[in-house]
A and B are shown apart, each in its own frame.
Chain A
Amino acid sequence: MNQVAAPLLTPEQNSLALWALLVLVLPLIAGGLLLLFGKKLTRQGDWLAIAATGLAFFLSLYLFFQVWEKQAVHVTWPWFQLATGNTSIISFTTGVYLDNLAVLMLVIVTFISLLVQVFSVIYMHGEWRYHHYFGYLGIFTFSMLGIVLSDNLLLLFIFWELVGFSSYLLIGFWYEKDAAVLAGKKAFLFNRVGDIGFLFGIFLLYTYFHTFDLILLKNAIASGVNQGNNFLFPAITGQADAITLSYTWLTLAGLGIFCGCVGKSAQFPLQVWLPDAMEGPTPVSSLIHAATMVAAGVYLLSRCFPFFTEDALLVIAIIGGLTALLGALAATAQYDIKKILAFSTISQLGYMVMGMGVGAHDASLLHLVTHAFFKASLFLNAGIVIHAMHHAAHEFSDEHSDVQDIRNMGGFRKILPFTFYAYIPAAAALVGLPLFSGFLSKDAILTGAWGWAGFKSQNGNLLYYVIPVFAFGSVLLTGFYMAKHCFYIFFGESKLYKEPELLRENKTAEASGLLLVPVAILAVLSLAFFFSLNPFNYAGSWVMQGVSWQKLLMEQPGLSGGLLPAITTYLHEASYISLATAILSILLAVVGIWLGWLSYKKAVAAGGLSTITAPTSGFSRLAYRHFYLDAFYEKVIINPFMRLSGGAAAFDKNFIDYSLNTFAKIMVVLAKLIGWVDRWLVDGTVHLLVKVAGVTGKLGRFMQNGKVQSYYIFSLLGLILLFLYILAF
Chain B
Amino acid sequence: MDYILSSLIFIPLLAVLIILCLPKHFTQGIKLVALLATGLQLILSVWLYTAFDASATVQGYQFVQKLNWISLNLQSLGLLQIQYFIGVDGISLSMVLLTGLISVIGVISSWTISKNIKGYFALYLLLVASVMGCFLALDFFLFYLFFEFMLLPMYFLIGIWGGPRREYAAIKFFIYTLIGSLLILIVMIGLYTSAFDPAATAVRAGLTPASQVVSAEVVAEVQRQVAAGTLTGSSIVHTFSIQDMQQAANFIPDSILNILSEKQLWGYPVRLLAFILLFIGFAIKLPVVPVHTWLPDAHVEAPTPISVLLASLLLKVGGYGLFRIVYPVFPEAAAYYAYFVGIVGVLSIIYGAMCALAMADLKKLIAYSSVSHMGFVLLGLASLTSEGTNGAMYQMFSHGLISAMLFIITGVIYDRSGSRMIDNFRGLAFSMPAFTALVVVAFFASLGLPGFSGFIAELLVLLGAFSSSAVSGMLPRWLAIVATGGLLLGAAYYLWALQRMFFGKHWVHPELKGEPVMTDLTKREYLMLVPLAILVLIFGLFPSLLLNKISPDINYFLQSVLQNR
* Residues in chain A within 8 A of chain B (CB atoms): 79-86, 90, 154, 157-159, 161-162, 165, 168, 172, 175-176, 178, 181-182, 184-185, 188-189, 192-193, 196, 199-200, 203-204, 206-208, 642, 644-646, 648-650, 652, 656-657, 660, 664
1/0 contact string of B449-488 vs chain A (CB within 8 Å)? 1110001000110110011001100000000110011011
Cβ contact within 8 Å between A82 and B351: no
Majority SS of interface residues in chain A?
helix
CA distance A178 to B502 in the complex (A): 11
Given contacts A176-B505, A649-B358, contact A83 B386 (CB under 8 A): yes
B429 touches A90 (CB 8 A): no
- Contact among B455, B488, B499, B502 with A182 in the assembled complex (CB-CB below 8 Å): B499
Q: Which 7 A-B pairs have the closest CB atoms?
A: A649-B358, A158-B450, A80-B544, A84-B386, A83-B555, A175-B503, A207-B467
Are B358 and A84 in contact, with the CB atoms below 8 A?
Answer: no
Q: Which of B105-113, B159-167, B239-247, B490-498 contacts A (4 or more CB under 8 A)?
A: B490-498
With contacts A84-B555, A85-B559 known, what are 15 further pairs, Cβ within 8 A? Answer: A86-B559, A159-B450, A165-B444, A175-B427, A175-B429, A176-B505, A181-B503, A185-B495, A188-B495, A192-B491, A193-B488, A206-B463, A207-B467, A207-B471, A648-B355
Alpha-carbon separation in the docked complex, A90 to B460 (Å): 12
Are A192 and B444 in touch, CB under 8 angstroms?
A: no
Alpha-carbon distance between A214 and B505 when the two chains are bound, in angstroms:
46
Bound: A648/B352 CA distance, A:
9
Task: Report B-chain residues with C-beta under 8 Å of the C-beta of A158.
Answer: 450-451, 455
Which one, A82, A175, A193, contacts B555 given CB within 8 A?
A: A82
Residue of A nearest to B450 (CB): A158
| Structural contact, B467 and A90, CB atoms closer than 8 A | no
- State the Cβ distance, B77 to closest chain A Cβ, in Å: 35
- Knowing A161-B449, A203-B463, A203-B480, say if A657 contacts B293 (CB, 8 Å): yes
Q: Is B301 an interface residue (CB 8 A)?
A: no
Chain B interface: which size bin? Answer: 35 or more
Asked if B370 CB lies within 8 Å of chain A CBs, one says: no
Q: Is the CB of A90 within 8 A of B358?
A: no
Q: How far is the CA of A159 from the CA of B487 in the complex (A)?
A: 17
A197 to B, closest residue via Cβ: B484
Instruction: Decide if A162 touches B450 in the complex (CB within 8 Å).
Output: yes
Instruction: Pick from B455, B470, B481, B492: contact of A189, CB below 8 A.
Output: B492
> Are B359 and A649 touching (Cβ within 8 A)?
yes
CB of A81 within 8 A of CB of B496, answer no
In the bound assembly, the distance between CA atoms of A204 and B463 in angstroms comes to 9
For window 299-348 of B, CB contacts with A under 8 Å fall at none
Residues in chain A near residue B471, CB distance under 8 A: 207
Give the docked Cα–Cα distance between A652 and B359 (Å). 11
11 contacts across the A-B interface (CB closer than 8 A): A80-B543, A82-B386, A83-B555, A85-B555, A162-B451, A178-B503, A207-B467, A645-B358, A648-B351, A649-B359, A652-B296
Whether A82 touches B357, Cβ cut-off 8 Å, given contacts A161-B449, A657-B293, is no
Please give, as numbers and ranges, the residues of chain B lying within 8 Å of A208 by CB-CB distance: 470
Given the contacts A80-B544, A176-B505, A189 and B449 also touching, CB distance less than 8 Å: no
Of residues 141 through 183 on chain B, the ones whose CB sits less than 8 Å from some CB of chain A are 172, 175
Q: Does B504 contact A (CB under 8 A)?
A: yes
**Chain A, Cβ-Cβ closest to B433:** A129
Segment among B31-39, B213-221, B546-554 that sits at the interface with chain A: B546-554
Which of A82, A196, A203, A660 touches B293 (beta carbons < 8 Å)? A660
User: Are B547 and A646 in contact, CB atoms less than 8 angstroms apart?
Assistant: no
Are A82 and B467 in contact (CB-based, < 8 A)?
no
Q: What chain B residues lie within 8 Å of A85 (beta carbons)?
A: 555, 559
Contacts A176-B505, A207-B466; A642 near B451 (Cβ below 8 A): no
B428 to chain A, nearest CB (A): 11
Given the interface contacts A206-B467, A649-B355, does A81 sit within 8 Å of B499 by beta carbon?
Answer: no
Give every chain B residue within 8 A of A86 (Cβ-Cβ): 559
Chain B residues close to A by CB (< 8 Å): 172, 175, 290, 293, 296, 351, 354-355, 357-359, 386-387, 390, 427, 429-430, 444, 449-451, 455, 459-460, 462-463, 466-467, 470-471, 480-481, 484-485, 487-488, 491-492, 495-496, 498-499, 502-505, 542-544, 547-548, 551-552, 554-555, 558-559
In the assembled complex, which residues on chain A have CB atoms less than 8 Å from the CB atom of B547? 80-82
Query: Please, which residues of chain B bring their CB within 8 A of the CB of A192?
Result: 487-488, 491
Contacts of B429 in A (CB 8 A): 175
List chain A residues, Cβ under 8 A from B351. Answer: 648
Q: Which residues of B sit under 8 angstroms from A657, Cβ to Cβ?
A: 293
Pair B386/A181 contact, Cβ less than 8 Å = no
Q: A83-B386, A646-B358 are in contact. Are A203 and B462 (CB under 8 A)?
A: yes
Whether B552 contacts A83 by the Cβ 8 Å rule is yes
Given A206-B463, A642-B357, A79:B491 Cβ within 8 A = no
Asked if residues A196 and B488 are in contact (CB atoms below 8 Å), the reply is yes
Q: How far is the CB of B154 from chain A (nearest CB, A)?
A: 19
Give min CB distance, B58 to chain A, whole Å.
Answer: 12
* Chain A residues positioned under 8 Å from B496 (CB to CB): 185
Q: Given known contacts A79-B544, A192-B491, is B499 in contact with A656 (CB within 8 Å)?
A: no
The CA-CA distance from A159 to B451 in the complex, in Å, is 9
Q: How far is the CB of A663 from chain B (nearest CB, A)?
A: 11
> In the complex, which of the residues B296, B449, B451, B504 contacts A178, with contact meaning CB atoms closer than 8 Å?
B504
A652: min CB distance to chain B, Å: 6
**In the complex, chain B residues whose CB is within 8 Å of the CB of A182:** 499
Partner of A199, one of B462, B491, B502: B462
Minimal beta-carbon separation of B505 from chain A (angstroms): 6
Q: Is B491 touching A83 in the complex (CB atoms < 8 A)?
A: no
What distance in Å separates the Cβ of A682 from its nearest Cβ neighbour in chain B?
Answer: 26
In the complex the two chains form, is A189's CB within 8 Å of B491's CB? yes
